[in-house]
Amino acid sequence: MCIFSQPVVSVNNTKIFGRLSGKGTQFLAYQMTYESRDENAMILPIPVPQPASEEAVKFIDLKSYEDFFKHLDKGFPFVPTGSIGCSAPTMKSASLDTLQVFDVGSYIASFVPSLADFERLDPRFKLPIEIWDQIPEYKEFGFAVFQLAAGTLKPHPMAFEFQSQNDEIFFPTVHIHDGKVHGQEEFDHVLYMQHAGLDSRVRGYRNSFSADPVTDLVRSKYQASNFCDLDRAKGLLLGDLLVHRKLLQDRLPNRDVKIVSLGDPVHRTFNFNALWAYASWLMLVALVCWCALGRFFIRRAEVSEQAAD
């Protein structure tokens, strides 16, 4: 997603992680490199049940895990990056009580329960209602807002857990440039996710560039505990699950991404598809066993004939 409250010079290397908790909430982490001449804010729409309370979002401090996405990258040898510039108009002043703010590592964050509640946010960190009118689906959304410092920076990941009204993994990827919502935009994002239902369906690992034929996602070769620091992830990751990756790199429809998967998001079932990676070996073992079994019966018949003579 590229929604900023003030104009930005550039935004690039955008990475987003999502995971369903199995308890009606979703974890989300977001990181990018940006350049902004002024103080700014990143606005992330999220599908919280309405009406939403200010307790619908729990912010997670990842200041001690700045390399969260670098560690995810270790599950995939090569991840392309690119550059996308985004901008937005300035704001009018607000007159209502301000929203509660939270210190989250290097950020000051707020949760805006609905579009109407933007009037309670600092005027520097909100958008005109005319922009939101172009995206009517956000009328039933809440918004996580992270204040950003001026300069050329790569801040540590923004992260939070939110009550979700959906069963799919939600990624905020809509771009808003020049105060308008265009039908298509240039995307250069990397999406990461965990879901036990995906693990239960994927075939064996092939390579870092091949999407799995069942999920259409690239799966990590090993489980997350092999290349991530679970303690510093503060609950975002499950160590016994794979990480799945989706690249958005092209001119694409300007919309959010939703990943749907069957089954429990936390507990895997036995994956018969994974045996495909060992199919050739299994066939060889079966052939050897069949030959050995055949030889056994032939030999037994020979012994029986000799005994009869």
At 191, give phi and psi (nearest 5°): -105, 135
Per DSSP bridges, beta strands 169-171 and 10-20 are: unpaired
Pair 88, 145: CB distance under 8 Å:
no
Q: What is the pLDDT of residue 244?
A: 97
Pair 20, 26: CB distance under 8 Å:
yes
Q: What is the pLDDT of residue 290?
A: 79
Q: What is the pLDDT of residue 1?
A: 53
- DSSP letter for each residue of 177-244: BTTB--SEEEEEEEEEEE-HHHHTT------TTPPPTTTSSEEPSS-GGGTS-HHHHTTS--TTS--E
Pair 123, 23: CB distance under 8 Å:
no
CATH for 10-271?
2.60.250
Q: What is the pLDDT of residue 46?
A: 97
Q: Among the residues of 65-153, which ranges form H helices?
A: 68-73, 129-132
Q: How many residues does the chain have?
A: 309
Rounded-to-integer distance, Cα 185 and Cα 253, Å: 7
Q: What is the pLDDT of residue 169?
A: 98
Q: What is the pLDDT of residue 270?
A: 80
Per DSSP bridges, beta strands 184-194 and 10-20 are: parallel
E strands in the chain: 10-20, 25-36, 40-46, 57-60, 83-84, 101-104, 107-112, 142-148, 151-153, 158-163, 169-171, 184-194, 218-219, 244-253, 257-259
At 117, give phi and psi (nearest 5°): -75, -5
Domain boundaries of the chain, sorted by first residue: 10-271, 277-309
Pair 87, 3: CB distance under 8 Å:
no
Rounded-to-integer distance, Cα 59 and Cα 27, Å: 10
**Cis, peptide link before residue 51, omega less than 30° from 0:** yes
Rounded-to-integer distance, Cα 44 and Cα 25, Å: 16
Sheet holding 101-104, edge to edge: 40-46, 142-148, 107-112, 101-104
Rounded-to-integer distance, Cα 223 and Cα 181, Å: 38
Q: What is the pLDDT of residue 295?
A: 76
Rounded-to-integer distance, Cα 80 and Cα 247, Å: 8
Extract the residue ranges of the chain whose pLDDT is less than 70. Answer: 1-2, 78-98, 177-179, 272, 274-283, 302, 308-309
Q: pTM of the entire structure?
A: 0.81
Rounded-to-integer distance, Cα 120 and Cα 285, Å: 68
Nearby residues of 269 by Cβ (< 8 Å), 6 or more positions away: 196, 200, 263
3-state per-residue secondary structure call for 53-64: CHHHEEEECCHH
